[in-house]
Structure formats: C-alpha cells, structure tokens
Structure 1
Amino acid sequence: MTETLPGDAAAPDFERRAAACRDSLTGVPGGARSEDAWLFARLVAAREVRGERALLGLSAQAFAGLAQRHFVADAMALLPSSPHQPPMQQAVPIADETHAAFVASMCEWLIGLASRDVDAADAQCLAAILAHACLRPDHLWRDLGLAGRDDVTHMLTRFFPEVVARNREGLRWKKLLARELARATGGVPGPAPGCPGCEDFGFCFPLGN
C-alpha cells in the first residue's frame, strides 16, 4: 500500500492534467493528426495547466496561428478551467535587457537554421518557445514539459537538424544552444541565462573550466 504524505491530496496532478489538456487540444486521445500537432499540444499543455502560457513566449497572434494550424476548432475555449490556476496570459515583455537580447538572438539564430521540411511559422513558434525555455533554471526537457532528453533530440532533429549535427560532444541541449549562439554572434561561450539555477550547473560548468 502506498503511503499518502500530508498535502498530497491537495497537490495538483500536473502530469495528468497536461495529458488531458493535450488530448483536448488535439481532439485525439493519446494522439494527434500529425507529429507536429502532437509536439505543440504537449508544449502548450505543459504550461497551460500551470497557468503559465506566457512562458511560451508567443504573441497572441503567433499563438492563435499555432492553434489554427494544429489544434481542433475552439480547443482553447473548451479547456476546463481550474481554481488552482491564475488567469491565462499571453507573452509579456522580458524585464531583464540582457535576457531579452539573448531571447531575440536565439530566436533569430534558430530560425536561420530551420529545416525546409517544416512549416516556417511553426519553426518561428518553436524557436521562441526554446529561447524562452533557456531563461528557466532546469534541464531543457523539463522546462519544455517533455518526457526526457530524447524528446528534445527528436524535436531538434525535426525542426533544427543543424543544431543536432553540432552536438558532437553530447552536451546538454541548453548548454549547446547557448554555446552555438555565442559562436554565431561572436560572443564568449557560456551558460544560458537559466543555467545557474539548474541542479547540474556545476557539472556543465565546473569551476576553473
């Protein structure tokens, strides 16, 4: 028998809610009309159930276009509301100028590397989502609400294969993205803005190296 710890019953089950939200967006329980629809439904659902849509970094226009391309009609309006969540938001300006510049540069760089096999608007949306995720203090796959590193690898291979080709050392993806952006813009390679808060920061950026 599994012991129930104090407060467990009241704790939001974000994983379950995200799965339900994902299925509502795609209209196909456990699936989607396309691989890209499945990916974006997962990315959106992970933030939606936490009241963190703004963290995706998408403008209202970009989000509406994404929803029109991949989600069922009126999916966002039909999502069940939760008393635990604050009102949903669209992207808000980044207060830190350095972080804002990083996001803008990362978006531009990624879009320049986008595969010709993907929808250009989808690539722009994913570039924004990835760039904003680099501001948060965890492994990239967790910041995106995915299941693990392999999910990120698969996503990058589909949309930005050149990024994957550059990771010959098997670096963590957030570190690799920051390094390659610095090299592309003439900067000094270093951590992404969110890296210092990650539990593995010392592993990726050991002192003296």
Structure 2
Amino acid sequence: MSKLSAHSPACAPDCTDPDDPAADRMIFGRILALAAADEARTMPQTLALSKADLAEMAARHAPQFTAAVASLPDEAEAGEDAIEEADLRAFLIDHGARGTDEERWLAAILARRSLAPNHLWQDMGFHDRGELNTMFRRHFPALVALNAGDMKWKKFFYRQLCEREGLMLCKSPNCEVCDDVEVCFGEEAGDPLATLSRLARNS
C-alpha cells in the first residue's frame, strides 16, 4: 500500500459528538491519513510515535491504515524532540480526561504537530477547527475549560508553558487591551492540507 493511496474513512454523521466513540474513528482516521500522505517524513516522525503505537491506533480506530503501518521498517523511530516538545507533551498528558492510550498518543502528536507552520487543525489533518475542538472536548476537556476565550491553540499552548515557567511575554496585562488580540484570537479559516497539497501538485 503506497503512502498516497491511503484515505481517511467516511465519517458517521455524528462523528463530531465528543461523547460518541465514533468520534475517535474520525480523529485518528484524519491523523493517520495525514501521516500516510507525508512524503517528506515517515509516519513515526510525523506523529512522534513508535510503530507499535501506530499499529495499535490503527487496529482500534482506523483499520484501513493497518497495512501502511505494518509496512514500516521495524527500526522506524519518531526522531528527537524539538525544544519544548517534551514539556508540551507532559502538559497535555497532565490534562487528559481518562489517562488512556489515546490521550498519550494525542499528547505526542499534538506536541510534534504544533511545530508545523499552519493552523493546528490543518497540521493535525482535520477538515476544520471544529473537528480539532471535538478532539479536545473528548480527550482534553480540562484544556477546553482553561481556554475559555477560545485562543488559537498553538498560542494557548505557548502561553501555558510560559506561565508554568513563571514567564510573561505578553505586551499587555490582559488580552482585552492588547494590540495583538487578533493574532491570538482571530479566525482560523483555510483549506485542509490535503486540499492544499492537491492544488500545489496540479498547479
């Protein structure tokens, strides 16, 4: 199975309901589709997970990717952490809902994908920010409560890590009077990365 032949499954109509187990089929199907289509990195490098973790993820939630994962070399590795990646991973695990494998996987994936340059929902392989928020409501509801102002998630993560270290890098004492409020809270519109990749190939 080639990396580019993999596709995410059709979502159930209610797959964005965070209380519905079907949501995990959408969540992990999207994520594995993103990694399978990444020609620059292996799936473990894209998602910061071992082959064993990816195999278990596919078996539970996205069996259409079991062959793609099985074809990975046994020695395939996630690669070294970037600066602050381990700190963000630990922060996310601390705020997981149930301490499940799924939350551990997502913590690693989120920490790695937060390094990419696009909106987080795009870098996770989701179709829109609503799907990303479904993932957070299902697996990290405490973070949804902390991010009550709906700050952009990458900005929110950075601010939380700074506050943990006792740092305050914001220019204003509160968001309401900050000149950069649109940078942190503005709209996150755009096309999914799969669409952008197709447009680039066809241009």
TM-score with structure 2 setting the length: 0.66
Separation (CA, whole Å) in 2 of partners of 1:76 and 1:21: 12
- 1:3-22 equivalences under 5 Å are 21-22=7-8
Aligned-residue offset at 1:146: 0.8
- Aligned with 1:135 (options 103, 112, 115): 115
Aligned-residue offset at 1:75: 3.9
Q: Which amino acid aligns with 1:169?
A: G
Q: Does 1:180 align with 2:160?
A: yes
- 1:155-174 equivalences under 5 Å are 155-174=135-154
Could you say if the C-alpha distance between residues 167 and 21 of structure 1 is closer, same or farther in structure 2, counting changes exceeding 3 Å? same
RMSD value, Cα: 3.1
Separation (CA, whole Å) in 2 of partners of 1:62 and 1:77: 14
Deviation string, structure 1 residues 33-74 (Cα, Å, up to 9, x no partner): 8321221011110121123422111122222222232233x8
Partner residue in 1 for 2:24: 36
Aligned-residue offset at 1:189: 4.9
User: Quick check: 1:106–1:131 contact (8 Å CA) kept in 2?
Assistant: yes
- Aligned with 1:56 (options 33, 47, 57): 47
Which of the pair has the greater relative contact order for Cα pairs under 8 Å at 6+ separation? 2
Separation (CA, whole Å) in 2 of partners of 1:78 and 1:184: 39
Separation (CA, whole Å) in 2 of partners of 1:157 and 1:47: 23
User: Quick check: 2:38–2:46 contact (8 Å CA) kept in 1?
Assistant: no
Separation (CA, whole Å) in 2 of partners of 1:189 and 1:169: 18
Give structure 2 stretches of 5+ with no counterpart. 16-20, 171-179, 185-203
Separation (CA, whole Å) in 1 of partners of 2:127 and 2:68: 25
User: Quick check: 1:133–1:140 contact (8 Å CA) kept in 2?
Assistant: yes
Give structure 1 stretches of 5+ with no counterpart. 1-13, 24-28, 82-86, 191-200
* The 10-residue stretch of structure 1 (55-64 or 157-166) with the greater mean CA deviation from structure 2: 55-64
Separation (CA, whole Å) in 2 of partners of 1:134 and 1:179: 13
Separation (CA, whole Å) in 2 of partners of 1:113 and 1:107: 10
Separation (CA, whole Å) in 1 of partners of 2:138 and 2:161: 19
Could you say if the C-alpha distance between residues 71 and 154 of structure 1 is closer, same or farther in structure 2, counting changes exceeding 3 Å? closer
* The 10-residue stretch of structure 1 (128-137 or 33-42) with the greater mean CA deviation from structure 2: 33-42
Q: Does 1:71 align with 2:62?
A: yes
- 1:192-203 equivalences under 5 Å are 203=182
Separation (CA, whole Å) in 2 of partners of 1:44 and 1:75: 7
Separation (CA, whole Å) in 2 of partners of 1:78 and 1:133: 20
Q: Percent identity?
A: 30
